[in-house]
Amino acid sequence: MRGGGIVAFPTETVYGLGAVATDARAVTRVFEAKGRPSFDPLIVHVLDDEMLAGVVSAVPASARVLIERFWPGPLTLVLSRAQRIPLVVTAGMETVAVRSPSHDVARALLAQTRLPIAAPSANAFGALSPTRAEHVVHSLGDRVALVLDAGATTLGLESTIVRLEPQPALLRPGALPVEEIEAAIGPVERIVRHECSAAPGRLEHHYAPRTRLRIARAADVPLEQRAGVAYLGWTESAEGYAASRVLSTQGSLREAAARLFECLYELDALECTRIDAEPVDEGGLGLAIMDRLRRAAT
């Protein structure tokens, strides 16, 4: 990585495809490997406060509160960019998205390089996010030279992205429920999906399996419409489908979040004509799960 290489590595959310954030040429290689459009900015990963100070030009008080409370962990903050972060990382913007991952391997990598690492999720642009090293290899093949394999990630959904100025706003629901953020700093505005300028790169069609997916409860799907179709259930499977996966028989959103992309990968591999995914309630982690399902269905 210090020589400009790109490496896939695990975080607690999903696997990332990393380059040293201050190396514009290496960062360009990340965009190329993913087939990612240059207008979609990357998240910069930092080890600690010292590394953060080299990435952002200021840390507002509300950001400080969130950092103390939730870092290291699945919270990304959009702050003002330090000059040494090249514009290719931020898609030309004066803000930079930054987070400190909690995964031991991600932290060891940051500690060894002693440099901030820009890393999007390690999948081809628009495809399902990888929660296992095998997913990275499946999606990127030999476009990535090295994958650090630490098995399945624990959270399974990308980080929550929050902007703090001019007022706190949720740009992407993720593995840290927005309710927990609000308990720490007060109300956080929910940016609606169509406001793309606030969350650049948040294209509607994203996180998608190759198989067509729609959001549907089995109870609303006549038996004859289930043949050859795969079902992703919340707590139960349903009869008549060609295959099914259950997110959490216990009804745990945490388990459901951890299993979501893995279940979609498995169902996608079966090459059914369609995937019916059951909706979940949108409180807590349910908001991020439904966000990913809606985008997969677009």
Residue with the two structure tokens 């095998």 = 134
Q: By the criterion CB under 5 A, which residues form the site for Mg ion?
A: 121
Q: Could you tell me if residue 266 is left (phi over 0), alpha (psi between -120 and 50 degrees) or otherwise beta?
A: alpha
Please, is 256 exposed, middle or buried when counting C-beta atoms within 10 Å of its C-beta (0-12, 13-18, 19+)? buried
- Is residue 59 near ligand TXA by the rule CB under 6 A? no
Residue closer to Mg ion by CB (options 148, 238) is: 148
Pick from Mg ion, ligand TXA, none: which does 1 bind, CB < 5 to 8 A by kind?
Answer: none
Pick from ligand TXA, Mg ion, none: which does 136 bind, CB < 5 to 8 A by kind?
Answer: none
Whether the Cβ atoms of residue 103 and residue 153 lie closer than 8 Å to each other: yes
Q: Collect all residues with Cβ–Cβ distance below 8 Å to 45 and sequence separation of at least 6.
A: 11, 16, 18, 21, 98, 99, 100, 101, 106, 110, 116, 117, 118, 119
Extract the tokens encoding 140.
């990127």
Report the distance separating Cα 96 and Cα 89, nearest Å: 8
Least CB distance from residue 36 to ligand TXA, whole Å?
Answer: 8
Site string for ligand TXA, 135-174 (x = CB under 6 A): -----------------------xx-x---------x---
Extract the tokens encoding 85.
């972060």
Least CB distance from residue 52 to ligand TXA, whole Å?
Answer: 15
Residue closer to ligand TXA by CB (options 158, 276) is: 158
Looking at 16, 73, 130, 168, which residue binds ligand TXA (CB under 6 A)?
16
List of residues contacting ligand TXA (CB under 6 A) = 11, 13-14, 16, 40-43, 74, 76, 78, 90, 93, 95-97, 119-121, 158-159, 161, 171, 199-202
